[in-house]
Structure 1
Amino acid sequence: MNTGGNNSLPPQTRGEVLFRDQQFFQKQIDSKIMQLLENYHNIIKISKVNDPLKNASEIYEMETRTSNMLNAGEGLLKIIEELKQNLILNDFSTMAEEVRIQNLVFHKENERTNKSIKLISEELSRSLKELEDEYYNSSYKLPPPSSSK
């Protein structure tokens, strides 16, 4: 019996969990893209074409903004990796469909093999019967082995 936690909350359905995960990932993606855009916009605003007299603070700010853009890009790559893992681990419907298709293929192969075995067995029975008939109707058959000791 579960004594810890809040038992008044109903268990979440698979759809609710997937919806919550989708919202979480969407918020993360939106946040990272906004960081990229904001930093890119600020770099453009700071930069001046053909200005040889950039001061150190502007250069430092550009480097900082560039670093922030790289961090946001890495964050997006991590989100993509999490989404791929989530898809691989939780895509039961696709996995179930693949298993069903493989089962159908194997059942068809099994039926084909069983038919082949049955045909071979029938052919073997016919051949054996022909050989037995030929042997018993032959004038050259050998006498039964004697049991002399």
Structure 2
Amino acid sequence: LVDRFCVDVSELLGVFVACVLSVVNSQGRKKRPTRMAQPKGLSQSKEALLKSYTKRLKDDMKSMIDNFTEIIKSTRVPLEEEGQVLRPLQVTQDQYEMHVRAANIVRAGESLMKLISDIKQYLILNDFPFVNDSIAQNSQRYCSVQMDCDQRLMSLRDDMAAELYDLEEEYYSSCYK
């Protein structure tokens, strides 16, 4: 049962790793039209960075899986004839081992959070075409909003001028001037 659970967790984490790597690789390999060709050094550094991200991801996931598997395995109760160490001593040893392995899982989780942060920062800082497209879209949207506001103001001005003309006519033709 423990082995089946660990296999299921491994498969789930493998799918997660594959998804993250496909996103990172697709962002890194997108062909974008540029005005100038990128230097080879930049492309190689990008590939090296993506490989380091991949390695960090795989190492942290492997660490989490291994530590979780060992925690699950250490929860079984040994038979009397299996252990040469006294039972209370074995329980204390298992408890400390679980604490260390849980701390290793937390460390690997924090490392994954840092990796996610690094990937986000990399994509935000190095995805200039996306930023430029976003700026262009916002500029177009604000220009259309400005034109709409200008049209509404012109319509309001014309309506107010017509009403003011009617009011002036009424005022000057009345006996109360």
Q: Could you state the TM-score of these two structures normalised by the residue count of structure 1?
A: 0.59
Instruction: Give yes or no for the alignment of 1:73 onto 2:109.
Output: yes
How many equivalent residue pairs?
116
Residue in 1 aligned with 2:41?
Answer: 12
> Which residues of structure 1 form unaligned runs of 5+?
1-9, 125-149
Residue in 2 aligned with 1:93?
Answer: 129
Which runs of structure 1 show a deviation greater than 6 angstroms over 4 or more consecutive aligned residues?
Answer: none
Q: Which among 41, 47, 55 is matched to residue 69 of structure 2?
A: 41
> Which residues of structure 2 form unaligned runs of 5+?
1-38, 80-86, 162-177
Whole-Å separation in 2 of the counterparts to 1:16 and 1:29: 20
Q: What is the Cα-based RMSD across aligned positions, in Å? A: 3.4
Task: Give the alignment of 1:27-38 within 5 angstroms.
Answer: 27-38=55-66
Instruction: Give yes or no for the alignment of 1:24 onto 2:52.
Output: yes
Q: Deviations over 1:41-80 (max 9, x none)?
A: 11111112599x4522222111111111111111111111
Provide the identity percentage.
24
Higher relative contact order (CA 8 A, sep 6+): 2
Bigger radius of gyration: 1
Q: Could you state the TM-score of these two structures normalised by the residue count of structure 2?
A: 0.51
